Amino acid sequence: MANCIAPSISIQPFHGEPRKNPSKRKRPANVDPTQAAKIERHTTVIRDRAEFIDLLAPCLETQYTKQTSTTLIEDYENEILAIQSRLRGLDIYLEYAEKYKGPDMVLITQELEERAKEMWQQLYGEFAYVEALDHARRRLVGTETDLRNFLEKLYAAVDYWDINKTNKKRRPEEGSPREPELKG
């Protein structure tokens, strides 16, 4: 077997990408390098927290919008159900009133028909509660999509393993009640 001699290779330590390596940044000449490193690390943490807050603020706004939209939809549904049930009751009453016409029923029938028209206007016409409900549901779907996107960005912005380490330290011991999880 022939002796293979490898050429001498000088191995350079890897310093990471220049934009991510704080030691590669330009420093003022009058600053001690150890102090500069501490300052740079500190500003990196603050900047990351600021970016996190910048993501957190619209996420919270979107969460509030989602809650508001959900409440609005529930209110519309309750009001629409009440109006629809009254409208069905009036329709049934008017059907029976036509079968059993009497002289005093004409005025009552006209008044009930006017009420039915007003209710129909509330549901489908001028006020369009049904259309507003559909619009609110579409807005809620869009808001939920936006919220999901914000949460994905937040989770991507946070170092997952560091959070798990701190959560393990803060978790209660086995057998003790756990803290309630946040709904999201």
Looking up residue 78, the CATH number of its domain turns out to be 1.10.287
Contact predicate 124/130, CB 8 Å: yes
Flag whether 116 is in a domain. Answer: yes
- pLDDT surpasses 70 at 44: no
| Alpha-carbon gap, residue 153 to 170, rounded angstroms | 25
pLDDT value of residue 39: 44
Flag whether 61 is in a domain. Answer: yes
Flag whether 49 is in a domain. Answer: yes
Give the pLDDT band (50/70/90) at residue 60.
confident
State the total domains in the chain. 1
Give the pLDDT band (50/70/90) at residue 74.
very high
Provide the token pair at 104: 């005093």
Flag whether 42 is in a domain. Answer: yes
Flag whether 127 is in a domain. Answer: yes
The one-character DSSP state at 25 is: S
pLDDT value of residue 30: 55
CA atoms within 13 A on the CB side of 170: 7
Flag whether 28 is in a domain. Answer: no
Question: For residue range 158-172, what is the model confidence (pLDDT) as tens digits?
Answer: 655 455 555 555 555
Flag whether 75 is in a domain. Answer: yes
Contact predicate 97/105, CB 8 Å: yes
Flag whether 31 is in a domain. Answer: no
Could you tell me the residue range of the domain that residue 117 belongs to? 36-158
Q: How many CB atoms lie within 10 A of CB 179?
A: 8
